[in-house]
Amino acid sequence: MIRGKTILLGISGGIAAYKAATLCSKLVQAGADVRVIMTESATKFITPLTLQTLSRNPVYIDTFDEFEPKVVSHINLADSADLVVVAPATANVLAKMATGLADDMLSTTLLATTAPVLVAPAMNVHMYVHPAVEQNMNLLAKRGVLFVEPGTGQLACGYVGKGRLAEPEEIVLAIEQFFATARTLEGKKVVITAGGTIERLDPVRYLTNDSSGKMGFALAETAARQGAEVTLISGRTAAEPAIPGIDIVHVESAEDMLGAVLARYETADIVIKSAAVADYRPVTRAANKIKKDGESLVLELERTTDILKTLGERKKQQILVGFAAETEQLEHYAMDKLRRKNCDLIVANDVTEPGAGFNVDTNVVRIFGEEGLIEQLPLMSKREVAGRILDQVAKRLKTREERG
Q: What is the pLDDT of residues 180-206, one digit of tens each?
A: 766 789 899 999 999 999 999 999 999
What are the residues whose beta carbons fall under 8 Å from the beta carbon of 404, sequence distance 6 or more? none
Same-domain status, 333 and 216: yes
Same-domain status, 193 and 336: yes
Let me know if residue 317 belongs to a domain.
yes
- Radius of gyration for the chain, computed over Cα atoms and rounded to the nearest angstrom: 24
Q: Would you state the pLDDT for residue 242? A: 58
User: Is the model's pLDDT at 393 over the cut of 90?
Assistant: yes
User: Is the model's pLDDT at 243 over the cut of 80?
Assistant: no
Question: What is the total count of domains within the chain?
Answer: 2
The shares of helix, strand and coil residues in the chain, as percent rounded to the nearest 5, are 35, 25, 40
Between these two residues, 115 and 238, which has the higher pLDDT value?
A: 115
Let me know if residue 166 belongs to a domain.
yes
SS3 162: strand
**173 φ, ψ (degrees, to nearest 5):** -60, -45
CATH number at residue 285: 3.40.50.10300
Domain boundary among 180, 208, 230: 180
Mean pLDDT of the residues in the chain: 90
Annotated binding-site ranges: 279, 289, 323, 337, 341
Same-domain status, 294 and 315: yes
Given the residues 75, 157, 263, 351, the one annotated as active site: 157
Same-domain status, 241 and 381: yes
Q: Is the bond into 203 cis (omega within 30 degrees of 0)?
A: no
Q: Rounded distance, CA 274 to CA 257, Å?
A: 12
Domain boundary among 156, 180, 204: 180
Let me know if residue 336 belongs to a domain.
yes
Residue 54: name the closest of 84, 68, 33 by CA. 33
Catalytic: 24?
no
Let me know if residue 345 belongs to a domain.
yes
Same-domain status, 86 and 219: no
Same-domain status, 55 and 78: yes
Same-domain status, 288 and 381: yes
Let me know if residue 266 belongs to a domain.
yes
What does pTM read for this prediction? 0.68
Q: Rounded distance, CA 202 to CA 339, Å?
A: 37
- Cα–Cα distances (Å) from 276 to 142, 254, 341, 357, in that order, read 24, 9, 16, 12
Same-domain status, 314 and 346: yes
Q: Rounded distance, CA 63 to CA 159, Å?
A: 35
- Cα–Cα distances (Å) from 45 to 7, 40, 104, 134, 335, in that order, read 22, 10, 18, 26, 54
What are the residues whose beta carbons fall under 8 Å from the beta carbon of 343, sequence distance 6 or more? 308, 312, 320, 321, 322, 337
Annotated binding-site ranges for CTP: 279, 289, 323, 337, 341
SS3 9: strand
Same-domain status, 161 and 227: no
Q: Would you state the pLDDT for residue 359? A: 76
Note down the domain range covering 205.
Answer: 189-403
Q: Rounded distance, CA 138 to CA 389, Å?
A: 25
Let me know if residue 1 belongs to a domain.
no
Let me know if residue 311 belongs to a domain.
yes
Q: Would you state the pLDDT for residue 74? A: 84
Let me know if residue 161 belongs to a domain.
yes
Same-domain status, 215 and 295: yes
Q: Would you state the pLDDT for residue 354? A: 84
What are the residues whose beta carbons fall under 8 Å from the beta carbon of 311, sequence distance 6 or more? 261, 265, 271, 273, 318, 320, 341
Between these two residues, 123 and 72, which has the higher pLDDT value?
A: 123
Beta bridge mates, 117: 84
Q: Mean pLDDT over residues 274-302, rounded?
A: 93
Domain boundary among 125, 148, 180: 180
Same-domain status, 336 and 370: yes
Q: Mean pLDDT over residues 352-374, rounded?
A: 88
Same-domain status, 83 and 203: no
| 191, containing H or E segment | strand 189-194
Q: Mean pLDDT over residues 290-297, rounded?
A: 87
CATH number at residue 41: 3.40.50.1950
Confidence band of 384 (pLDDT split at 50, 70, 90): confident
